[in-house]
């Protein structure tokens, strides 16, 4: 797929936080996009990004990013593309204002995920849902909002989608073991996290109950008809730096063998235009054999952290099958997923005022 002639200027909202930093790192050297503006809370406005950001990434802070001056999130002249890493407690009205100002906002926050006219996108699964954004003109004029799922929802949905397409998924029970980085910066206090499992992650269970049904649903007219599946979820926080592990049991709509399930996962691919996007993994779902896979420390970075790994497939005495799935929560589950959605939006012509190379 041809990239833009020149990199498209991009702003990052919430640039000093964990996901914001991931976005800044991923944009460094991106073939389509260029980090042009960084935005954060009022307390940070006017400071250099390199001085304000407590850089926590394993790669160095890019010099160009460090030299940018932090701006208010509530500017009146946003660039055409805005990537939002704001928390849900503040994101909703700020993202809506930027959309009304003409920007395409790709959000990691929960604020707009379940809005009827906002697509909840995992491009390999439901790239066609991006067409739902067309009806947002009633609210935002030329601007749009696209959303990325919750960091656990995306891993679960990627594991379920191949099975749902092939056999139907009717019932799901999931227990999450969620990494510390999912709590953001400064995150969980060390004395609470060490030598511990915290059996509560605020708001996460509701997201797992509702988001996969929208992701796996069908675009119908001016909305999404959710997939008909029942989900029971228990969310925990564990002392792992990155990588959300999910223990899943599924009840299928029709019988399937272990070999058929593995084939569904390994054969799963997105549409051709999605597979050609710069951030798309060659194989979205990887099945790992072995009694001790997947593991966060060993497998979270496969395919640049953009693939979801599955293993431990066994019969379930209560449903049909059980398995373990792992996804990198700040890459595939947040910054990388949002970047992939932004690439899809550019490829399908949704960025206001941007002329693609194929346009005359």
Please identify which of the residues 112, 244, 299, 328 carries the catalytic annotation.
244
> To which residue do tokens 């930093």 refer?
21
Q: What is the CA radius of gyration of the chain?
A: 20
112 is catalytic: no
> Helix, strand, or coil here: 224?
strand
DSSP designation for 69: B
Please identify which of the residues 30, 73, 112, 151 carries the catalytic annotation.
151
Contacts 24+ apart (CB under 8 A), 215-218: 215/120, 215/121, 215/122, 215/125, 215/126, 215/149, 215/153, 215/157, 215/161, 216/125, 216/126, 216/157, 216/160, 216/161, 216/164, 216/169, 217/126
5 is catalytic: no
DSSP designation for 131: G
Output b/e per residue, 319-343; b: 16+ Cβ within 10 A.
bbbbbbbbbbbbbbbbbbbbbbbbb
- Catalytic residue annotation: 151, 244
């Amino acid at each position: 797929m041809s990239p833009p002639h020149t990199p498209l200027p991009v702003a990052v909202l919430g640039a000093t936080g964990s996901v914001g930093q991931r976005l800044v790192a991923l944009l460094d050297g991106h073939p389509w996009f260029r980090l042009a503006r960084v935005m954060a809370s009022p307390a940070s406005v006017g400071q250099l990004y390199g001085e304000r950001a407590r850089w926590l990434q394993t790669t160095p802070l890019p010099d160009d990013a460090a030299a940018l001056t932090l701006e208010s999130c509530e500017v009146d002249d946003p660039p055409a593309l805005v990537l939002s890493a704001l928390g849900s407690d503040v994101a909703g009205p700020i993202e809506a204002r930027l959309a009304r100002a003409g920007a395409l906002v790709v959000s990691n926050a929960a604020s707009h995920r379940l809005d009827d006219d906002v697509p909840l996108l995992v491009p390999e699964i439901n790239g066609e849902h991006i067409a739902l954004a067309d009806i947002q003109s009633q609210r935002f004029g030329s601007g749009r909002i696209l959303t990325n799922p919750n960091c656990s929802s995306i891993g679960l949905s990627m594991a379920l989608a191949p099975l749902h397409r092939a056999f139907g998924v009717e019932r799901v029970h999931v227990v999450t073991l969620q990494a510390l980085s999912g709590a953001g910066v400064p995150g969980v206090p060390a004395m609470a996290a060490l030598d511990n499992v915290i059996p509560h992650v605020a708001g996460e269970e509701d997201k797992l109950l509702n988001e996969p049904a929208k992701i796996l649903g069908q675009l119908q007219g001016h909305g999404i008809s959710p997939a008909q599946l029942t989900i029971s979820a228990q969310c925990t926080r564990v002392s792992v730096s990155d990588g959300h592990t999910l223990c899943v049991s599924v009840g299928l709509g029709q019988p399937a063998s272990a070999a058929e399930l593995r084939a569904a996962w390994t054969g799963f691919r997105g549409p051709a235009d999605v597979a050609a996007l710069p951030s798309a993994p060659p194989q979205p779902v990887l099945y790992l054999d072995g009694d001790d896979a997947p593991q966060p420390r060993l497998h979270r970075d496969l395919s640049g952290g953009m693939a979801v790994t599955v293993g431990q497939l066994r019969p379930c005495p209560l449903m049909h099958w059980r398995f373990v799935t792992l996804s990198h929560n700040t890459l595939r589950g947040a910054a990388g997923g949002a970047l992939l959605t932004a690439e899809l939006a550019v490829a399908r012509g949704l960025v206001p005022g941007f002329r693609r190379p194929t346009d005359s």
